[in-house]
Amino acid sequence: MGLLNSTCPTLAGAEDYNVHGTAWKFMLYTAGLCMCITIGIALSLITLHIQRYRAPKEQRQIIRIVFSVILYALIAFFEVYSYKAAQYIDPIGDLYEAFGLCALFLLFIQYAAPDGSFDDDEFKAVRAAEETAKTYDWPRIFWISVFQYPLFEFGCVVLIETTEATGTYCANSLGPQFFHLWYEIIASISISVCVLAVVGFRNNMKRRFKVRRCLSKLICFKAIVFIRFTQAWAFSALLSYGFITTGENFQYNDLVWGVPGLATCVEMVIFSLGFFYCFSSTEYGSADKPDEEPMLWWKAVFDVLNIWDLLAGIARIFPLSTEAHRTGNWRRWRGAQRENARVAARMVTMNKHRHQKRGSKGNRPTMELHGSTVAIVGPSGLHRTPSQTKVPYSSAESIAMTDMSGGPRISRPSSRPSPHYDGGSVPTDVVAVGSVSSRGRQDGRYDLEAPLPVEGSPAGIAREHEMV
């Protein structure tokens, strides 16, 4: 008998889809009410964007993201309504989640290069606007990392529906003979790569994105992704390990599908309200764009429904991947990830040293980066520091070099905004950018040791300092 023919273990009550606890009707009515509220709030925001449809490349992505809460609420309600249908409709939400992350990524690209058309010129425009220089072509690498997710997710959804029908999926087991285990592994890797790429893109454009509430947009949608990804697992684990048990009020499927579905419906109400702030339509009103007329509503609807840009984005990952291999971008990207890992290990060591020193001296020590490569950042950008120069505390910042995942970050000694670089690019071989610890903190200045040139970096951009 082959592995795929193994019998799927059946837990008590797992196949009793029509058996409900006494709390089922309450869950169903509450989920239905929350679904209606979510649809009303989200449709109101979508309608406002349709009426103010002055920036199609941005607003079509916003409407697609806002629509996600409607879809998730609908799926969650029908999961509560029919436990038998739940296992088949739940993957639809995962598939739309993949396209939602792609829409968020395209929105960020549009913010970075407003006049672009998602072509090679747009990649050049994005790189020209970058705030942290990279050794690799990160816009193309991030594009591949984001658009691989819907491709893998679509393939997984097809396989889930197929294996569910043939009995070889087995949601109750993580055995290697069932597809459930392999789906979870593929989905976890794929979504992690996608989310890290979106976060990395935003981290490279922080100042430019600040006025567009990109951090709020990212956090709000990432929270939905995280909750949907972990919520079902949490309830299943609590049930499996006996922390919650079945009874008269809650039967097995009430806990596996009903309670998570109800929780999702309630959460979508909260997220739909949050979307009104994160994805507000006010910036597209006549007061902000007086010279632009909004598109007719029916044309705007068709523009949103046209998903060619998403499909073209998926198709584009193949030539981009081939080009990245030919130009050595993949090799440089892997080198940057290894450097990030080394920086992370160094940060752990530094934090441990700082905590030990704090405990020994009884007070809060200033930042120390022993043996680190640093540069001093002031209001006018990166500059050299002669031996034993005192740098004003108010202008000193501490910023760790980031890469695809955002990388480790050193806390800033001051609460001032990140400095601007005056067009200077920061070499990626600089481990950190920041200030050294001060022996004269009372007068607000930091003492530096003699600087050394950073090998291979542009002259005058950064210097290597050995800490005391």
pLDDT of residue 462: 36
pLDDT of residue 142: 92
pLDDT of residue 11: 67
pLDDT in tens, 313-367: 999 999 999 988 888 888 888 888 888 788 878 888 877 777 766 655 444 333 3
Cα–Cα distance list, 422 to 229, 358, 383 (Å): 41, 37, 11
pLDDT of residue 360: 53
In the predicted model, is pLDDT for residue 63 greater than 70? yes
- Mean predicted confidence (pLDDT) in 143-156: 93
Q: How far apart are the first and last CA of the chain?
A: 68
pLDDT of residue 118: 64
pLDDT of residue 255: 86
Local confidence band at 12 (pLDDT 50, 70, 90 cut-offs): low
Other Cβ atoms within 10 Å of 36 Cβ, number:
14
Read off the amino acid at residue 240. Answer: S
In the predicted model, is pLDDT for residue 311 greater than 80? yes
In the predicted model, is pLDDT for residue 241 greater than 90? no
**Cβ-contact 97, 195 below 8 angstroms:** no
Rounded Cα gap, residues 437 and 410, in angstroms: 13
Residue among 151, 160, 166, 165 nearest 183 (CA): 160
Q: Which residue has the higher pLDDT, 329 or 172?
A: 329
Instruction: Determine which of 232-241, 248-257, 273-282, 338-347 has the lowest per-residue pLDDT on average.
Output: 232-241
In the predicted model, is pLDDT for residue 374 greater than 50? no
User: What are the domain boundaries of the chain?
Assistant: 8-327, 362-465
Paired strand residues for 465: 451
**What is the rounded radius of gyration, in angstroms, for the C-alpha atoms of the chain?**
26
Rounded Cα gap, residues 238 and 256, in angstroms: 10
**Cut 0.75: pTM above it:** no
DSSP three-state, residue 440: coil
> What is the residue whose two structure tokens read 């198709």?
315
Instruction: Read off φ and ψ for residue 372, nearest 5 degrees.
Output: -95, 155
The torsion of the CA quartet 311, 314, 320, 321, rounded to 10 degrees, works out to -160
DSSP letter, residue 390: E
Instruction: For residue 88, count CB atoms less than 10 angstroms from its CB and return exposed for 0-12, middle for 13-18, buried for 19 or more.
Output: middle
pLDDT of residue 439: 38
**Cβ-contact 108, 214 below 8 angstroms:** yes
**Cβ-contact 224, 271 below 8 angstroms:** yes
Rounded Cα gap, residues 426 and 71, in angstroms: 43
pLDDT of residue 435: 38
Inter-axis angle of helices 297-305 and 24-51, nearest 10: 120
pLDDT of residue 351: 77
Q: Which residue has the higher pLDDT, 286 or 187?
A: 187
In percent, the amount of the chain with pLDDT more than 70 equals 71
- Helical ranges in 176-296 per DSSP H: 179-203, 206-210, 214-240, 252-253, 259-278
In the predicted model, is pLDDT for residue 184 greater than 50? yes
Local confidence band at 105 (pLDDT 50, 70, 90 cut-offs): very high
Q: Which residue has the higher pLDDT, 227 or 7?
A: 227
Write the CB contacts of 204 (distance below 8 Å, at least 6 apart in sequence): 130, 131, 132, 134, 138, 402
Q: Which residue has the higher pLDDT, 66 or 21?
A: 66
Write the CB contacts of 179 (distance below 8 Å, at least 6 apart in sequence): 159, 160, 163, 168, 169, 170
- Mean predicted confidence (pLDDT) in 166-189: 82
Q: Which residue has the higher pLDDT, 398 or 201?
A: 201
CB burial of 166-176 (b: ≥16 within 10 Å; e: otherwise) equals: eebbbbbbeee
pLDDT in tens, 436-462: 333 333 333 333 333 333 333 333 333
In the predicted model, is pLDDT for residue 377 greater than 70? no
pLDDT of residue 14: 65
Other Cβ atoms within 10 Å of 363 Cβ, number:
7
- Helical ranges in 241-328 per DSSP H: 252-253, 259-278, 297-305, 308-315, 317-327
Instruction: Read off φ and ψ for residue 453, nearest 5 degrees.
Output: -65, 145
DSSP letter, residue 256: I
pLDDT in tens, 412-442: 333 333 333 333 333 333 333 343 333 333 3
DSSP three-state, residue 467: coil
Instruction: Determine which of 35-49, 62-76, 131-145 has the lowest per-residue pLDDT on average.
Output: 131-145
- Mean predicted confidence (pLDDT) in 268-282: 93
pLDDT averaged over every residue in the chain: 74
Read off the amino acid at residue 113. Answer: A
Rounded Cα gap, residues 324 and 338, in angstroms: 18
**Is domain 8-327 in CATH 1.20.1070, yes or no?**
yes
pLDDT of residue 357: 62
> What is the residue whose two structure tokens read 């569910």?
164
Residue among 254, 365, 272 nearest 25 (CA): 254
Which token pair is 7? 């019998």
